[in-house]
Amino acid sequence: MLATATAAPPSGPDWAHEIKWDGMRVLADLHAGGLRLTSRNGNDVSVSFPELAGLAGAYDDLLLDGEVVAFDAGRPSFAALAARMHVRERRKAERLAAAHPVTYVVFDVLRLFGQELIGQPWSGRRSLLERLDLHEVDHLQVPPVYDDGAQLLLATREQGLEGLVSKRRSAAYLPGRRSADWLKTSNRATISAVVGGWRPETGSAQRLGAVLVGRPGPAGLMYAGRMGSGLAGKAAVAMAQLLAPLTRPDSPFADEVPAPDAKEVTWVQPLIVVELKSLGQTGGGRLRQPAFLGIRADLTPQDLTEEADRGGE
């Protein structure tokens, strides 16, 4: 179930409010002593997060929804998480987990002992989640919920957190669907964008030096700017490897890319979503000084299109 973006959190007794963590959405499926971690786009990411293996023995049959979060100095850091999201080699994942462990922040329970719970109201699922006594599981948290969304939004803003999610207490869980029963209010200075091309590093025709990114609009993918800051070393190599099989002969952008940006560009299928920060946008919709933070393996271009259709970020 996905949240719909809103400018301000709803108020009143029908709503509960949770902190929105800057993490990776993951389903944790426990069954017969095994554990499968699945990302939003259906990929098995169990190998990527070995520190969560202890969850397997918590219950014989349980399905949880939550976010994998990397904390840096007590605050969620998507940049720190990005280094973990794509690791599929077990030994490397174990080394990274030992040095920079993640936390599974659980906010919903969807199945217990073979009984599907998605038809029950959020309030009932939340009450059950709190009674599961998961606090003894390593690297797992069940964060609190709050009654006052406006105060929580202010607190998250002061603490530099991403924002909050407001949930209708009577709402059932709708798998894979975006619903107005879950509303997200964001403080984020970062945004997600789609890569539509790349340019080589100055002095090298082979090494990636910058990517061209866009945001969904009514006419299609609209060009938002060229981004090279933050794309160096291992980050540039990883990006180049992802883009190599996606080469196409023409631009995927619906509008014209300025000639200086399009110089020596290799166009690619617009399938890779990245997270970036910028100093805002120009009047023409271009990003000001965008800097790469990481690849959003948990998002697809369609996710961004749905956000744009609903007036989201």
CATH, residue 275? 2.40.50.140
In the numeric block, which tokens belong to residue 181? 């029963």
250, 161: one domain: no
Give 168's contacts (C-beta < 8 A, 6+ positions apart): 14, 15, 122, 181, 182
Stated pTM of the model: 0.74
Give the residue numbers spanning the domain of 180.
1-21+146-187
164, 215: one domain: no
13, 26: one domain: no
Return the bridge partners of 277, or none.
190, 291
Q: What is the pLDDT of residue 189?
A: 65
Catalytic residue status for 20: yes
214, 159: one domain: no
Give 218's contacts (C-beta < 8 A, 6+ positions apart): none
Q: What is the pLDDT of residue 73?
A: 84
160, 122: one domain: no
Q: Which of 20, 167, 184, 277 is catalytic?
A: 20
- Boundary-marking domain end, from 82, 109, 142: 142
Q: How far apart are CA 152 and CA 158, in angstroms?
A: 10
Q: What is the mean pLDDT of residues 177-200?
A: 90
Q: What is the pLDDT of residue 205?
A: 67
- Give the least confident one: 50-59, 80-89, 163-172, 263-272: 80-89
Return the CATH number at 111: 3.30.470.30
Give 159's contacts (C-beta < 8 A, 6+ positions apart): 75
Q: What is the pLDDT of residue 40?
A: 86
Return the CATH number at 159: 3.30.1490.70
What's the pLDDT band for 309 if we cut at 50, 70, 90?
low
Q: What is the mean pLDDT of residues 89-114?
A: 95
Residue 143: exposure state from Cβ atoms within 10 A (0-12, 13-18, ≥19): middle
45, 30: one domain: yes
To the nearest whole number, what is the mean pLDDT of the chain?
91
166, 194: one domain: no
C-alpha 58: how far from its chain's center?
A: 26
What's the pLDDT band for 313 if we cut at 50, 70, 90?
very low
Q: Maximum distance among all alpha carbons in the chain?
A: 61
- Boundary-marking domain end, from 142, 167, 198: 142
Neighbours of 70 (CB within 10 A): 23
CA angle (252, 22, 222) in 5-degree steps: 20
Q: Residue 312: pLDDT above 70?
A: no
| Predicted confidence (pLDDT) per residue in 227-264, tens digit | 999 998 888 999 999 999 999 999 999 999 999 999 99
7, 156: one domain: yes
Return the bridge partners of 18, or none.
165
Q: What is the pLDDT of residue 209?
A: 93
156, 300: one domain: no
134, 199: one domain: no
Q: What is the mean pLDDT of residues 268-280?
A: 91
82, 122: one domain: yes
- Boundary-marking domain end, from 126, 154, 187: 187
Which tops the pLDDT comparison, 177 or 243?
243
Q: What is the mean pLDDT of residues 197-222?
A: 90
283, 223: one domain: yes
Neighbours of 249 (CB within 10 A): 6
Domain total for the chain? 3
Give 197-243 as a DSSP string: EEEEPTT-SSSEEEEEEEEEETTEEEEEEEE-BT--THHHHHHHHHH
DSSP label of 45? -
Nearest to 196 by CA among 260, 269, 127: 269
Q: Residue 271: pLDDT above 60?
A: yes
